[in-house]
Amino acid sequence: MIQPLRNTHRRIFLALALLLPALFLSGIAFRHTWPVSAKSKSPTLGSVPPGATR
Amino acid sequence: MSHQYQAIGWNRQKRVYDVVVLAAVMLYIALFIGLGALLFPYATAETLIIRAAGSAAFLLLHVVLCIGPLCRLDSRFLPLLYNRRHLGVVTFLLGAVHGIFAIIQFHSLGDKDPLVSLLTSNENFRSLPDFPFQQLGFLALLILFLMAATSHDFWLRNLTPPIWKTLHMLVYVAYALLIGHVTLGLLQSETSPVLAVVTGAGLVTVLSLHLAAGSRERTVDLKELNPAGKGFVDACSVESIPEKCAAVVSVSGERVAIFKFDGKISAISNVCRHQNGPLGEGKIIDGCVTCPWHGYQYLPETGGSPPPFTEKVSTFQTQIVDGRVWIDPKPKAPGTRVEPSKISVSGVSS
């Protein structure tokens, strides 16, 4: 009764151990590069204000 | 295990557990909003509430997911497991606050119904940085609602433990959705690496703990017992079992808890009828095997709960030969009385 659940659980985590780091790292790698305010010459291209949401 | 209906069987431990959880959550939210208002003057009150509730829910979900494997790896964490369902309900409530405020802030000012707007305003499913992350959070919230709504023992009893457990495994889907929600949402606009590092560390912690606990469980499951005489298998030595505790072995694909108590040996199924808790990791208290998760009790000779309770688990015939415990791999029907094997000086059971 319980061993199939344990096996399912193990398989789920083996899959998650592959998928989630890939999703996380891809999400970080391909994210938008926001302009940095100190280097920006245009006042309209300032960095995202701290605390602002998308 | 109540013979008289109570919505929640409150006791001191549950009250202390809940008070500590609620105090910690309130403190976290107060600190988050207070510091957020000081450090980020651009942020509105709604934004701070959205982030405080969302981050608290995400953090709490990590705690909930870590408790299970931590208990498998070290029994000192067992007290955290006792009221874990309440943690899950609090996680859902915090997620609901986050979701409701987010829908009000971002989707309630247009012509569309807010829910329609939530589900249709962004359909860039092919773009990773512009992915509709809010839908992921919405799906995760639906799963958390389903779990919170069925967390009561009423549902556990009616759905039966295996189905209830399977249903509640959806928490891993919710977790995956929330990793996507955070990574493709908040972390896309966040310029500081701190949140990405914290999220990554949380992910690594959850995955590592579950993989480590799973690997340890598999070792027990794969250990094959040597056949003994008369259809029995050689389970373990009598000496290896601590008094009033159990050795757990895997027999015919299921686990059996072999208890030693008062000069006797009895074997019952390792699976508690309540939530499939590991009976073999419990102790014999007041003559009863006591589940370490929620305290359900069974008589070691019969596998039945003491009256007026009615739960029953399978029992197994045992023999003691030359200081070794032999066990019949065929389980008796739940509640069947099996005479305990007496530990004699000569090492042969009477």
pLDDT in tens, B285-308: 999 999 988 888 999 999 999 988
Mean pLDDT of chain B: 90
Interface check A22 vs B, CB under 8 A: no
Q: What is the pLDDT of residue B307?
A: 87
Q: Tokens representing A11?
A: 């398989």
* pLDDT beyond 80 at A48: no
Amino acid (one-letter) located at B10: W
Interface test with A, best of B170, B171, B175, B203 (most A CBs within 10 A): B203
* pLDDT beyond 70 at A44: no
Cα separation of B81 and B77, whole Å? 7
Cα separation of B314 and B42, whole Å? 63
Q: What is the pLDDT of residue B254?
A: 84
Instruction: Tell me how close the Cα of A20 comes to any Cα of chain B, in angstroms.
Output: 7
Amino acid (one-letter) located at B215: S
* All residues at 6 or more sequence positions from B333 whose CB lies less than 8 Å from its CB, including other chains: B314
Q: B4 falls in which pLDDT band (50, 70, 90)?
A: low
CB contact under 8 A, A53 and B176: no
B249 sits in which H/E element: strand B246-251
ipTM over 0.90: no
CB contact under 8 A, A51 and B169: no
A10 contacts in chain B (CB < 8 Å):
214, 217-218
Q: How many CB atoms lie within 10 A of CB B3?
A: 9
Q: A40 falls in which pLDDT band (50, 70, 90)?
A: very low
B180 contacts in chain A (CB < 8 Å):
23, 27
B15-37 residue pLDDT tens:
898 999 999 999 999 999 999 99
> Are B170 and A9 contacting, i.e. CB atoms less than 8 angstroms apart?
no
Q: What is the pLDDT of residue B152?
A: 86
A8 contacts in chain B (CB < 8 Å):
166, 169
Cα separation of B323 and B147, whole Å? 47
Q: Tokens representing B138?
A: 């919405």
Interface check A39 vs B, CB under 8 A: no
Over residues B244-255, mean pLDDT: 88
Cα separation of B147 and B171, whole Å? 8
B191 contacts in chain A (CB < 8 Å):
34, 47-48
Cα separation of B250 and B87, whole Å? 32
CB contact under 8 A, A30 and B128: yes
The more confidently predicted of residues B107 and B254 is: B107
The angle at the Cα of B334, spanning B329 to B218, to the nearest 5 degrees, equals: 50
Instruction: Tell me how close the Cα of A22 comes to any Cα of chain B, in angstroms.
Output: 11
B276 contacts in chain A (CB < 8 Å):
1-2, 5
B218 sits in which H/E element: helix B194-222
Cα separation of A28 and B286, whole Å? 56
Interface test with B, best of A7, A8, A10 (most B CBs within 10 A): A10
Over residues B329-339, mean pLDDT: 92
Over residues B91-117, mean pLDDT: 94
CB contact under 8 A, A20 and B207: yes
* pLDDT beyond 90 at B60: yes
B268 sits in which H/E element: strand B264-269
Dihedral angle sign, alpha carbons of residues B22, B27, B30, B32: negative
Instruction: Tell me how close the Cα of B127 comes to any Cα of chain A, in angstroms.
Output: 9
Cα separation of B295 and B313, whole Å? 15
- pTM for this one? 0.81
> Are B269 and B287 contacting, i.e. CB atoms less than 8 angstroms apart?
no
